[in-house]
Amino acid sequence: MFATNNRIIIVDDDKQQLLDLAEAFLANGIGCKTILYNPTYNSPMTGVRIAFFDISLTGKMINLDQEIFDYKTDKNLSAVFNDLAFAIQNCVSSYNGPYALIFWSKHTKAFPNFIEYVNERYPELPSPIQIDAMNKTDFIGKTPEEIQRKIVQIFQGKSINLLFEFEQKCEIVASQTTNEIYNIIPTNQNIGSNKWASSEGFEENFDLIFSSIAKSTLGYEYAKKNPDRGVMEALLPIMNYRLITDSIYCKDWENHLKSLKSEEINYPEKFIKGKLNSIFHLDTKSNIDTSIRGAVYKYNLVPLPFKIEYYFGLSGYFRKLETYIAEYFFNLNIDTPDEIKDLIKTKSCFIVIEISSSCDYSQNKKRNNKYLLGLKTPKFDRKQYLNLKTINNSIFYNEIPEFALELEEFFIWINFNFVISNISKIKKFGEPLFILKKELVDLIGNRYANHTSRIGITSF
């Protein structure tokens, strides 16, 4: 119920100074986690957004009189840096996400040399998106308001501040949603006579109301198996509306977005756009089975036994697929390098995508699962090496965005002419790959519906 607030951490080996600094935050209603550091501490955390570290954490002191700090010639400085890098590693997880690293220290001139030290010896440390230093003596004995002003100055106008504020707004919206629903739950059977501190009937009413919410969202059978998801999906539109509405009059992003001209808005060099698409559209964390809407599996083009093919009228099915592949896809432009051809042929695989009706899935109705046939290929320059004009869009629909998972960048192509049902999945499904999220499955379903309902006439 009560999670540790890891958003701000203060790490110091001086207990009194640690408490003095924490008190300044708490006086402003800002929660923080204090860590009285010793070399045995080893509890790396995630969700840290601002980390304050004292440079000298184990009693080793830095010579303040020196003009130049160089760990390569100063063994004592090297030892201090080693302790500090070790402390960061043991306090902030490599999976932490964006954070600012602020050194509480009198030794502010030393931290550029520390950055050089980390790059050489600890490159695996979680990398902050902002590093700064603040003299601790400027804060001891100051009022909370003065300390807050100094901290705000560090992040004023910085992009990291926008990420932190977005996260904070989401928390506020979640709290507002909780309050709004709580206020409509009767606290006793006699609704007209609620009294202060009277909670009679609240638990029962709570269960009934949220059971109804989950049932209405997913349907009874599905909500019974996935009650958490039913409630969360129901509350998300409320939170989404509040988040957008509360942001209408905000100016947080104005300077960052309006400073760019339209033609300048593009992705930075070496940015992998497929990773962004994967965040929006791929679910790689949920368990995958063949009944899940949007499930994507590898599909093995191995002919079924003759009796099954003949009985269900599937004779020639796979030969036709191979013909389509050879004629419409692997027939690359004549000037395509051999290494590109080999890459596509060796790294591509057939896939199937579950596209059953959204309402049937939500209501957990029995479905004869429909799977569209697709092809997963490595990313390549489609305009340069593939003549898209010669490819029938119903055979290889190519308007699905590019994706990237781990080190693999890939395209997904969909063939609307082949729909596979439960019959043909018996021995042909390979390993599960991922789940396409609802928005993308809805798009594919819409395109498929347009394909199957296109108008034609009989003419003579």
Higher pLDDT, 183 or 187: 183
Of the listed ranges 24-28, 188-192, 252-256, 398-402, the one predicted with least confidence: 188-192
Of the listed ranges 56-60, 103-107, 256-260, 367-371, the one predicted with least confidence: 256-260
User: Is 403 in a helix, a strand, or coil?
Assistant: strand
pLDDT at 263: 66
- Measure the CA–CA gap between 108 and 293, rounded to whole angstroms: 55
The burial class, CB within 10 Å (0-12 / 13-18 / 19+), for 322 is exposed
Domains defined along the chain, listed by start: 8-156 (3.40.50), 161-264 (no CATH), 273-452 (no CATH)
140-156: average pLDDT? 69
260-283: average pLDDT? 82
- Measure the CA–CA gap between 308 and 321, rounded to whole angstroms: 18
- Measure the CA–CA gap between 31 and 3, rounded to whole angstroms: 12
Confidence of residue 164 (pLDDT cuts 50, 70, 90): confident
The burial class, CB within 10 Å (0-12 / 13-18 / 19+), for 336 is middle
283-299: average pLDDT? 88
Average pLDDT over the chain reads 77
Higher pLDDT, 201 or 333: 201
Strand 8-12 relative to strand 429-436: parallel, antiparallel, unpaired? Answer: unpaired
pLDDT, tens only, 72-95: 888 888 888 898 899 999 999 988
Can you say whether the dihedral through the CA atoms of 69, 72, 73, 75 is positive or negative? positive
pLDDT, tens only, 33-46: 889 988 888 889 88
Check pLDDT > 70 for residue 187.
no
Higher pLDDT, 150 or 123: 123
399-403: average pLDDT? 89
Check pLDDT > 90 for residue 428.
no
- Measure the CA–CA gap between 55 and 83, rounded to whole angstroms: 9
Confidence of residue 296 (pLDDT cuts 50, 70, 90): very high
- Measure the CA–CA gap between 428 and 410, rounded to whole angstroms: 22
Check pLDDT > 80 for residue 198.
no
pLDDT at 196: 63
Read off φ and ψ for residue 96, nearest 5 degrees: -65, -45
- Measure the CA–CA gap between 149 and 147, rounded to whole angstroms: 5
Higher pLDDT, 263 or 50: 50
Check pLDDT > 90 for residue 435.
yes
User: Is 59 in a helix, a strand, or coil?
Assistant: coil
pLDDT, tens only, 308-354: 444 334 445 545 655 655 555 555 666 778 888 778 878 888 888 99
pLDDT at 4: 59
Of the listed ranges 162-166, 235-239, 283-287, 352-356, the one predicted with least confidence: 162-166
- Measure the CA–CA gap between 434 and 287, rounded to whole angstroms: 9
pLDDT at 77: 85
Judge whether 291 and 345 are in contact, CB under 8 Å: no
Choose the most confident range, by mean pLDDT, from 116-125, 209-218, 237-246. 116-125
